[in-house]
Amino acid sequence: MSYHADALPDVRRTALPGVSLAYRDTGGAGVPLVLLHANTGTSASWAAQFGPFSAAGYRVIAFDRRGWGESLADAAGGTQPGSIAGDLAALAEHLRLPRFHLLGVAGGGFAALDYAPWRPETLRSLVVAASSGAFSDPEMEQLVRNISVPGFTELPEVLREIGPSFRALYPDRVAVWEQRRQQARQLGAPAQPLHTLNTLAKIATIRTPMLAITASADLLAPPALMAAWLRHTPHAEVVPIVDSGHSVAMEQPELFNEAVLAFLRRH
């Protein structure tokens, strides 16, 4: 099954431990490619990726994290709030996925870096884009402080997450992004912790083929910050995308998709 650009597969639901998980799945016999959305998004954030990735022959899957979009926490079904990595493992088992490619952007990158060292036998490759990694190491925490600007966290998320060029050129698309962001996280939904804390020592154990995508105008995970943690995964390939903010998959979908697909074809 294939999808036109910006079209989305229908939402499906499955009961997993602690959650009624909403997910989208193109189906088919292709190698699975699982997408993990940012803190400001849902599975619908991948509208520009489902079509091209499916057309390239992959079975594309994305889910709303617990408490986001249409995924509903179920305290009677399991402990709360669980972890994104745990929900991913449960979904992969439910769908009986063979080894799959995993792609996480921004906050989804936190979860991808959490999952990869925990369940390496399930992965073909790992892609992390525009992500600080949520590391607990003092040196990484200091780097985050170094780039912080007083009052930055009080700015509207649209200014922090989307680059100035995109905001200048595509105000209608920015408005759609903002509308979806406001509907992404359910009121009062707690953030899910990592399965285990992300540390530089933890990601140094990753042997899965890996691609990192940086965005030159990213104020939250600038290339220099990503380079600091990527030094601990020296096997990782790095593709820079210029003139894009934190929401790189939405701002520069053609370049983003081209970089991901070129990497996946080699693995």
- Please write the tens of the pLDDT for every residue from 127-171: 999 999 999 999 999 999 999 889 999 999 999 999 999 999 999
Contact residues for 173 (Cβ-Cβ < 8 A; gap 6+): 166, 250
Nearest partner of 256 among 98, 35, 68, 59, judged by Cα: 35
Whether a cis peptide bond, with omega within 30° of 0, leads into 81 is yes
Predicted local confidence at residue 7, as pLDDT: 82
pLDDT in tens, 192-244: 999 999 999 999 999 999 999 999 999 999 999 999 999 999 999 999 999 99
Residue 184 and residue 38: Cα distance in Å, rounded? 10
Q: How many CB atoms lie within 10 A of CB 152?
A: 12
At residue 2, the pLDDT reads: 36
Mean pLDDT of the region 118-135: 98
190, 186, 179: which is closest to 45 by C-alpha? 179
pLDDT(121) > 70: yes
pLDDT tens digits, 54-75: 999 999 999 999 999 999 999 9
pLDDT at 76 over 50: yes
Query: pLDDT value at position 16?
Result: 98
6 band by pLDDT with thresholds 50, 70 and 90: low
Q: Tell me, what's the pLDDT at 4?
A: 39
Of 91-95, 100-104, 143-147, the poorest mean pLDDT is in 143-147
Residue ranges per structural domain of the chain: 11-265
Residue with tokens 């290339």: 223
- pLDDT for 175-191, tens place per residue? 999 999 999 999 999 99
To the nearest 10 degrees (0 to 180), the angle between helices 84-94 and 107-118 is 60
Q: Judging by beta carbons within 10 Å of its beta carbon (0-12, 13-18, 19+), is residue 220 exposed, middle or buried?
A: buried
Residue 39 confidence class, pLDDT cut points 50, 70, 90: very high
In angstroms, the CA 133 to CA 140 distance is: 9
Residue 1 has a pLDDT of: 33
Helices (H), 46-199: 47-55, 84-94, 107-118, 138-147, 157-161, 164-169, 171-182
Q: In this model, does residue 251 exceed pLDDT 50?
A: yes
How would residue 3 be classed by pLDDT, with cut points 50, 70 and 90? very low
Q: Which fold has domain 11-265?
A: Rossmann fold (3.40.50)
Average pLDDT over residues 8-20: 98
Q: List the structure tokens of 214.
A: 């940086």
pTM score above 0.85: yes
11-16 and 19-25 beta bridge pairing? antiparallel
Give 5's pLDDT tier (boundaries 50, 70, 90).
very low
